[in-house]
Amino acid sequence: MFDGKMTDAGGEGFKFPQLDDQVSPTRWTSRLGSVVYYGIMAGLILVLARAAWEQVFKKDYWTMQQSHAQSRTVLGNEQRGRILDRHGRFLALDRIIQQVAIDPDQLSRRYQELDFASGVKVVIEEFKEVLPVPLQPEWSIKEILIRLEDSGVEFLRAREEMEQELLNAVRNNLLIRAGVTKVYEEKSSKKDEPIELPRVRYRMLGTIPDRESRKQVTEAILEIESKEAGLGLKLFPPRGQKLQRFYPYEDIGLVVIGEVDRKNRFGLWGMESYWDHQLKMLSSMRKHRATPGGQSLGSDRFAIPGKEGTDLRTTIDIQLQAKLNHLVKANQQRTAARRVSAAVVDPYTGEIHAWTTYPALKRGQLNELATEDLINGSDEGMKQAFSLMSRLQRVSMAPGSVVKPLILARAIQLGVPLKLPLDVRGENQRIEGRSRWFRDSSLLREKTPEGAVVFSSNIGMVLLGVKLMRMQDVESILRQFGFGSKTGIELPGEERGLLKPIHQWNRYTWESACFGYEMMVTPVQVMRAYMAIANGGYLLRPTFLVKEQSDPGEIILSEDVARECRRVLRRAVKDGTGRHVVHHVGPELKSLIRSSELEIAGKTGTTKLMKEDGSGFSENRYNSSFVGFAPVENARFLTIVLVEEPTPEGKMYYASKSAAPLGAQILASALNLRGFNPLSVPIDESLDSATDSAKGNLAISGEAGNVGHGGFVGGQTQTAASASEDQGQEGEPDRW
């Protein structure tokens, strides 16, 4: 029988340690305790070593982190420079406005009674319909927003959009508090990847526009929060403040003034852009330590001083500007033109009193068009924006008949008698037997240099410029009047135009220049040239800035020559192509003209535009212009008018029908003549449009070639086409 013992070859029995030599439980416990003890001590040593490392070797780093966490940066309220008109009225200035925000997290706390064990299901069911969801019996989000809107809050976006954003923010906060931090969005491009829910604390709603509205908004907020008194919720944080650019006269003068970006950092266009270096401010900055709750922990650590923007006093008369805006808009509707532009200037100082284009950009439209381009990946919006900005310094075109008095001025300097007979034989004529034909719409009745200007005869002007003057005489007088060089006007985007150097002239250029073709000029260049005739021969720089001492200018004409030119220009309005103005103005202005209370000297111009394919001149696209001043002697005001592509119906494209009547209205308004109220000129507000007309070519067109943004394109094509198209380059008829 086996007794539990085993014997080996030596006879000794084999012992089982686990049975015969068992370890004491107390000994095992002691060993385990030692291991734990030494492990804890090693961990403490590591922690202490790490702490010592951080304190000794990374002290500067943690000091910086603490300073950053407690640091608060406060920007100053330095303001952008103000823009004033000539009488000290504010056209643009900064103002401090209050901002209204709401706390979606506080809104979501109204759902504390929800069972958050099944909170996800509850939240999804509650927000299945994302339309108005009552958060309390008394107030829904929609009702809160309506109450704020009625009190005077101007929302950042449409109220419906703000309502949707708030509902989504409340939903997200509820999901987060229910334990859901990520969701799958069906509209996401990455449907297989969850999107982390953002927890929104504050949502900006809008601004309070004026002090009168602040009290009403305060009452509305107190009324809304009084409903939440039992819940201890505070839906509206303290109001913030920000600087906002304010334009007291709204869109009046907008074409000149321009606007700033949405954050009031820099000017986008107009004077706000051109004079941004002077108007912009430098915000001061100061830093101090504060608790997370905002309590200050000491004085400012350091401060950076700021700088206020410098004010800009302009020559604009905002009251005359309002009248000009009204008259230009009325004229655009009357002529069905693509666009109408006009300006009023003092010819003796160069100070511009009013300046406008219609249709033009409206405030905020540039940002909208830029956003559309960003979304669509195109530049069509910017092209449209540029076409709606000020045109008088941007558009280059053939001046047409308005050049004729300038050629006459050089003839007078050369001693050519104004009553010298010219060999005008008919309505269609070749000069010196050459192949090129020139055409007038009717036979020139007064066949003299003076008559050629008064009745706007192309044939008469070519005979004057080619047979009685040299090519150098024609080129030099145009260059002396400033053609081919910028005026230096204080608006962005001024074009230089084009006047070929004399070595590039030929017979064709010489003949065409006599009646305003084969060159490109801007309306503001024409305005400057006529200022020299009105003021006695001084070529001045047109300006928007009030200056203590005006620039004397360069003398390009003698007083005698300028006086003769003024007399001829007076005849052009009284006896020539401008005499039909009285048929296209109201009875009050007609009476002032016929009684000689309003005496105007000026010149009309009608030019054909090139076809879009550049194959020749269009039969129904014209530009009409008028430049004139009053009184004839010692003129107080000069105006330039540009009517782009008026309707061809009723021959409205003739400048004496489209542009000259507007010029007469503008001068009567500037002179404040009794019996004429410019604001009584009728306007159909239903036709108001902030966008460019669909008709017409967006590219800038010219007759001596097609010019886009100041470049000369297609000159050879125009030369070849014009040889057979000169029948379109006609002077204005003396009767309709």
List, for residues 485-518, the tens digit of each pLDDT value.
999 999 998 999 999 999 999 999 999 999 999 9
Distance between CA atoms of 572 and 550, rounded to whole angstroms? 31
The model's pLDDT over 294-349, given as tens digits with 9 standing for 90+, comes to 566 666 666 778 888 999 999 999 999 999 999 999 999 999 999 999 999 999 99
Predicted pLDDT at 591: 87
Contacts of 368 (CB under 8 A, 6+ apart): 381
Block residue for tokens 């107009």: 270
Q: Are 638 and 629 in contact (CB under 8 A)?
A: yes
Helix residue spans in 94-187 (DSSP H): 104-108, 119-126, 141-151, 159-177
End-to-end alpha carbon distance in the chain: 150
Residue 591: in which H helix or E strand, if any? helix 587-594
Contacts of 321 (CB under 8 A, 6+ apart): 85, 252, 253, 256, 353, 354, 355, 356
Cα distances (Å, whole numbers) of residue 172 to 161, 197, 629? 17, 6, 68
Q: Provide Rg for the chain, Cα atoms.
A: 40
Residue 355: in which H helix or E strand, if any? strand 352-358
CB neighbourhood size of 274 (10 A): 21
Predicted pLDDT at 297: 65
Distance between CA atoms of 247 and 330, rounded to whole angstroms? 24
Distance between CA atoms of 167 and 517, rounded to whole angstroms? 64
Distance between CA atoms of 469 and 109, rounded to whole angstroms? 90
For 67-96+241-311, CATH number out of 3.30.2130.10, 3.40.50.300, 3.90.1310.10, 3.90.190.20 equals: 3.90.1310.10
Q: Are 616 and 601 in contact (CB under 8 A)?
A: no
Distance between CA atoms of 405 and 652, rounded to whole angstroms? 24
Q: Is there a cis peptide before residue 523, judged by omega within 30 degrees of 0?
A: no
The model's pLDDT over 343-363, given as tens digits with 9 standing for 90+, comes to 999 999 999 999 999 999 988
Predicted pLDDT at 238: 77
Contacts of 308 (CB under 8 A, 6+ apart): 78, 79, 81, 281
Predicted pLDDT at 718: 35
Distance between CA atoms of 106 and 679, rounded to whole angstroms? 53
- 662's tokens: 């507007």
The model's pLDDT over 60-75, given as tens digits with 9 standing for 90+, comes to 777 777 667 667 677 7
CB neighbourhood size of 649 (10 A): 10
- 548 φ, ψ to 5°? -65, -35
Q: Are 572 and 566 in contact (CB under 8 A)?
A: no
Distance between CA atoms of 282 and 280, rounded to whole angstroms? 7
Altogether, the residues listed in the chain come to a count of 736
Distance between CA atoms of 326 and 320, rounded to whole angstroms? 10
Distance between CA atoms of 728 and 608, rounded to whole angstroms? 7
Predicted pLDDT at 151: 86
Strands 83-84, 312-313: pairing kind: parallel
Distance between CA atoms of 98 and 128, rounded to whole angstroms? 35
Predicted pLDDT at 664: 94
Q: Are 95 and 243 in contact (CB under 8 A)?
A: yes
Q: Are 585 and 665 in contact (CB under 8 A)?
A: yes
146-159 residues labelled b (16+ CB within 10 A) or e (exposed): ebbbebbbebeeeb
Nearest 10 degrees: Cα torsion 465, 466, 468, 473: 60
Q: Which residues, given as ranges, of the chain have pLDDT below 70?
A: 1-28, 66-67, 69-70, 72, 109-139, 177-200, 227-233, 288, 290-302, 686-736
Distance between CA atoms of 360 and 389, rounded to whole angstroms? 6
CA angle 656, 706, 273 (to 5 degrees): 85
Predicted pLDDT at 694: 36
Predicted pLDDT at 691: 40
CB neighbourhood size of 122 (10 A): 16
Predicted pLDDT at 726: 39
- Which class would CATH give 318-369+384-728? alpha beta
Strands 352-358, 339-345: pairing kind: antiparallel
Domain edges within the chain: 67-96+241-311, 104-112+119-236, 318-369+384-728
- 123's tokens: 């939240």
Distance between CA atoms of 163 and 168, rounded to whole angstroms? 9
Q: What is the DSSP string of 513-559?
A: HTTT-S-BB-HHHHHHHHHHHHHTSEEPPPBSB--SS----EE-S-H
DSSP letter at 127 equals T
